[in-house]
Amino acid sequence: MIIAGVLSASHSFGDEAIKIRYVSSFLADEKGNMFKTPKGVACTNDSLLVIADTGNGRLLKYTNQNGLFVMGGEYRIPDLSSPSKVQISSTGELFVLDEREPRIARLSTEGAFVAYIKPTGQPDPGSYIPRSFALDARDNIYILDILAERVLVLDPAGKLLREVKFPRNYGFFSDLAVDQGGTVFLIDTVQCMVYSAGAQAQVFTALTGKLKEYMLFPTSITLDSAGMLYIIDQNGGSIIVMNSAGTVMGRQLGVGWKEGFLRYPSQACITAAGNLFVADRENNRVQQFSIVK
Task: Report how far residue 88's alpha carbon sits from residue 86's, in angstroms, rounded to the nearest whole number.
Answer: 7
Residue range(s) defining the domain that contains residue 40: 36-236
- Which tens digit of pLDDT belongs to each residue from 51-93? 999 999 999 999 998 888 899 899 999 889 999 999 999 999 9
Residue 154 belongs to a domain: yes
Residue 148 belongs to a domain: yes
Q: In what order do the strands lie in the sheet with 103-107?
A: 83-88, 94-98, 103-107, 113-116
The domain total for the chain is: 1
Residue 241 belongs to a domain: no
Question: In the predicted model, is pLDDT for residue 141 greater than 80?
Answer: yes
Alpha helix segments (H runs only) across the chain: none
Residue 293 belongs to a domain: no
Torsion of CA 180, 184, 187, 191, to 10 degrees: -140
Residue 187 belongs to a domain: yes
- Which tens digit of pLDDT belongs to each residue from 227-285? 999 999 999 999 999 999 999 999 999 999 999 999 999 999 999 889 999 999 999 99
pLDDT band of 101, cuts 50, 70, 90: confident
Residue 287 belongs to a domain: no
Report the pLDDT value the prediction gives residue 222, as an integer from 0 to 100: 98
Residue 16 belongs to a domain: no
- Which tens digit of pLDDT belongs to each residue from 185-229? 999 999 999 999 999 999 999 999 999 999 999 999 999 999 999
pLDDT band of 108, cuts 50, 70, 90: very high
Residues across the chain = 293
- Which tens digit of pLDDT belongs to each residue from 40-54? 999 987 789 999 999
Provide the CATH number for the domain around residue 94.
2.120.10.30
Q: Kindly report the CA angle at 187 between 267 and 197, in degrees rounded to 5?
A: 120
Question: In the predicted model, is pLDDT for residue 15 greater than 80?
Answer: no
CB 214 within 8 A of CB 242: no
CB 274 within 8 A of CB 12: no
Residue 203 belongs to a domain: yes
Task: Report how far residue 205's alpha carbon sits from residue 201's, in angstroms, rounded to the nearest whole number.
Answer: 9
pTM of this prediction? 0.93
